[in-house]
Amino acid sequence: MMSPQIALHDPVFRAYLFVVPISLAIGGAVLAFLRWGLKKEIESIWRTYRSWLIMAPIGLLVVFAGRIPTIAGVTLLAIFAFKEFARASGLYRDWWMTGAVYTGIVTVGIASLMRHPRGEESGTGWYGFFTAVPVFAIALILFVPVLRNRARGELQRMSLAIVGFVYIGWMFGHLGFLANAINAYGFLCYIIFATELSDVAAFTFGTMFGRHPLRSEISPKKTWEGALGAIVVSMILPWLLRFSFPFFGVRQLLLTGLIVGIGGQLGDLSISVIKRDIGTKDMGLTIPGHGGILDRIDSLIFVAPMFMHMAGYYYPLR
Amino acid sequence: MKRWRYDSANDLDRTLVERLRRFPREPDMLVYGLRSVGALIIRAWLRAYHRFEIIGHENLRTNRSLVIVANHCSHLDTLCLLAALPLRKLHCAFPAAASDYFFKSIPRLWIAAVVVNALPFARQIHVRQSLSLCEQLLANPGTILIIFPEGTRSTTGETQEFKCGIGALVAARDIGVVPCFIDGSFCAWPKGRRLPRPKKVRLIVGTDRNYRSRNADKIDICAIATELREAVSELSQRNASY
């Protein structure tokens, strides 16, 4: 249901073609005011903002290009995000295990691309297989030490591989499966836009009012004020961007706000737990001002699957 | 419960470009894959475009650490020598490349680090540091170093004098040294030309030698450099008979 022609005539996608640049312009104006109006030192935020100026068009372009590019893009993002996780945790030194997880991630992508082989599911995407991929991927991961006849230190490697696959490959992979939805443009554009905006809101509110640390042992910079600010923004956003899912009732809009507000922070914090235990600040230095790819997509890890199942519970997804 | 020990990658806090510039580089599946595919393409191109042939291939035994020395008048030289190696050896074969030329601009760095797997060799200052880096690499079994002891591409096609550093690297060590001569690369792609011409290129591999019985003093290392140069010139004369 996604292709460049459909995208051009889709009112939701066309609306986001305005919403995203306008938001970026507002953000830029605020930063410019801070920089030149109030003479504040905001070099690091500028860097973050400049990266957004590149990432946002790429994201829109991939969604514009259609279903297959979207799923392929999500799969590639998952592979590179997992690679960062593997390099930070030391799992990357074991290429067999890394390869097993890569295979799992690609399988998630293929399950999103396929149709049900006997046509029992409507539309594209093989949902039954998609939800069952972890069984096969974890079996493959457990099979690696057996195949290589090794035991020492394998529990750690298997655990890291399973966590990496389930978090980054499968849960994040739900974003790709959403490309099969009837309302794919609305769902995809909304949850990516809203999740990243709630990230920005958490940062902004945290910087302005932050006093009480949210989870001092996990991420010393995150504050209750920031988290509440993000939830407030996420609760308002579904109403502002209601055109993304015109068929949603009040209950669904509320749930959407909660999922983005709480799920986004949960994803962020859960990756922070991993980073904190490993003892690294960022997962990589791929995106200037943001850290690694994983640092950018971590908020979507919970939002994508929870939103998909919420929407799928109330309405036929495909 | 005991704490897990995470063996993070050493270049975790570097950007992508810094990671390529750093040496030794962390093994990377994507880089290994690209390098292997690149090698296949380069081999096909050398065979088709330059009618590349290898004489004395059986002299190149790669089961132990090895230094390959050759004359240098073109970028093709490195590619020819790499094309003579088995594919699985590519990732432990390090052509020494001038760090002031190959490791500055990003496109060159990309080719040097990803496609060629080059070792940044500081040829003006810190030569000794670069040599000790080579020594460390050779301590790992199965390492192949590709060194052009002339230090730069010859602008006339004639083999220049060999620098003594090559002698310092192999003297008093049990490391095989394979002299090679590359013919035709000067005509095909001389220094200063943008693109290569479709001329025949031939690689002649000499028999390997060993300098473990030699001293590492100044006189001997210069003598080794001279001997190696003679070995390469001898191959060039043999080439005339093909």
Q: What is the pLDDT of residues A89-116, one digit of tens each?
A: 999 999 999 999 999 999 999 999 999 9
Closest Cα in chain B to A80: B30
Sequence-distant (≥ 6) Cβ neighbours of residue A141 within 8 angstroms: A97, A100, A101, A104, A158, A161, A162, A165
pLDDT for res B188: 93
Query: Å from A110 to nearest chain B CA?
Result: 21
pLDDT tops 80 at residue B32: yes
Q: Where are the domains of chain A?
A: 67-180
Rounded mean pLDDT of A248-253? 96
Of the candidates A101, A92, A262, A71, the one whose C-alpha atom is nearest the C-alpha of residue A167 is A101
Partner-chain contact A285 B6, CB within 8 Å: no
pLDDT tops 80 at residue B242: no
With tokens 């929407």, the residue in question is: A311
Q: What is the pLDDT of residues A24-33, one digit of tens each?
A: 999 999 999 9
Q: Which of B6, B10, B26 to mutate to test the interface with A (most CBs of A within 10 A)?
A: B6
Judge whether B14 is closer than 8 Å to chain A, CB to CB: yes
Measured in residues, chain A has a length of 318
Query: Å from B222 to nearest chain A CA?
Result: 41
Q: What is the pLDDT of residues B179-235, one digit of tens each?
A: 999 999 999 999 988 999 999 999 999 998 999 888 888 888 899 999 999 999 999
Partner-chain contact B15 A278, CB within 8 Å: no
Distance CA A96, CA A92 (A): 9
Q: Where are the domains of chain B?
A: 27-240
pLDDT for res A48: 92
- Cβ atoms B109, B103 nearer than 8 A: yes
For chain A, helix, strand, coil in percent to 5 are 75, 0, 20
pTM over 0.95: no
- Secondary structure (3-state) at B54: strand
For chain B positions 21-60, those within 8 Å of chain A (CB to CB) are 26, 29
Q: What is the pLDDT of residues B85-107, one digit of tens each?
A: 999 999 999 999 998 889 989 99
pLDDT for res A253: 97
How high is the ipTM of this complex?
A: 0.86
Q: Which of A92, A106, A155, A283 to mutate to test the interface with B (most CBs of B within 10 A)?
A: A92
Hey, what CATH topology would domain B27-240 get?
A: Glycerol-3-phosphate (1)-acyltransferase (3.40.1130)
Q: DSSP string spanning B131-193?
A: HHHHHHHHHSTT-EEEE-TTSS--SSSS--PPPTHHHHHHTTS--EEEEEEEESHHHHS-TT-
pLDDT tops 90 at residue B124: no
pLDDT for res A287: 87
